[in-house]
Structure 1
Amino acid sequence: METWDAIRARRDVRQFADRPVPPADLDRILDAGRRAPSSQNTQPWDFVVVTERDRLAKLATVWRGAGHVAGSAATVALVAPVPAEGRRGQVMFDLGQAAMSLQIAAADLGVASGHSAVGDQELAREVLGFPEDRFCGYLIPLGYPADRPLRPIERPDRRAAADVVHRERW
Structure 2
Amino acid sequence: MEFSEVVRRRRMVRRYADRPVDPALVDRMLEHATRAPSAGFSQGWAFLRLDTPVDVARFWEVTTPEHADPESRWLAGMRSAPVVIVPLTSKDAYLDRYAAPDKGWTDRDEARWPVPYWYVDAGMATLLILQTVVEEGLGACFFGITPSRVDDFRAAFGVPAAYQPLGAVTIGHRHPDDTGSRGSPARRERRAVDEVVHRGYWGG
TM-score normalized by the length of structure 1: 0.84
Deviations 1:75-120 (A, max 9, x none): 1111222556456721111111011011001111111111112222
Q: Using the alignment, how far apart are the partners of 2:189 and 2:31 within structure 1? A: 30
- Structure 2 residue 140 is matched with structure 1 residue 131: no
- Structure 2 residue 200 is matched with structure 1 residue 168: yes
Using the TM superposition, give the Cα deviation of residue 9 of structure 1 relative to its aligned residue in structure 2, in angstroms.
0.6
Structure holding more helix per residue: 2
- Aligned counterpart for 2:173 among listed residues 129, 144, 166: 144
Amino acid corresponding to residue 126 of structure 2 in structure 1: A
- Structure 2 residue 104 is matched with structure 1 residue 72: no
Q: Using the alignment, how far apart are the partners of 1:70 and 1:126 within structure 2? A: 21
Aligned counterparts, 1:3-152, within 5 A? 3-60=3-60, 61-62=62-63, 64=65, 67=75, 69-83=78-92, 85-86=110-111, 89-118=116-145, 119=147, 120-147=149-176
Q: Using the alignment, how far apart are the partners of 1:47 and 1:100 within structure 2? A: 13
Any unmatched runs of 5+ in structure 2?
A: 69-73, 96-109, 179-187
Q: Using the alignment, how far apart are the partners of 1:127 and 1:11 within structure 2? A: 30
On the 8 A contact 1:56/1:71 being kept in 2, the answer is no
Any unmatched runs of 5+ in structure 1?
A: 150-155
The count of residues paired between Structure 1 and Structure 2 equals 164
Deviations 1:17-66 (A, max 9, x none): 11111111111111111111111111111111101223323323526599
Using the TM superposition, give the Cα deviation of residue 124 of structure 1 relative to its aligned residue in structure 2, in angstroms.
1.5
Q: Using the alignment, how far apart are the partners of 2:36 and 2:195 within structure 1? A: 29
* Structure 1: 4+ residue segments shifted above 6 A: none
On the 8 A contact 1:57/1:69 being kept in 2, the answer is no
Report percent identity of matched pairs. Answer: 26
On the 8 A contact 1:59/1:69 being kept in 2, the answer is no
Q: Using the alignment, how far apart are the partners of 2:198 and 2:16 within structure 1? A: 38
Q: SS in structure 2 opposite 1:46?
A: strand
Using the TM superposition, give the Cα deviation of residue 69 of structure 1 relative to its aligned residue in structure 2, in angstroms.
4.5
Q: SS in structure 2 opposite 1:114?
A: strand
TM-score normalized by the length of structure 2: 0.71
Q: Which is further off, 83-92 or 112-121? A: 83-92
Greater Rg over alpha carbons, structure: 2
RMSD, aligned α-carbons: 2.5
Q: Which is further off, 134-143 or 59-68? A: 59-68
Amino acid corresponding to residue 108 of structure 1 in structure 2: E
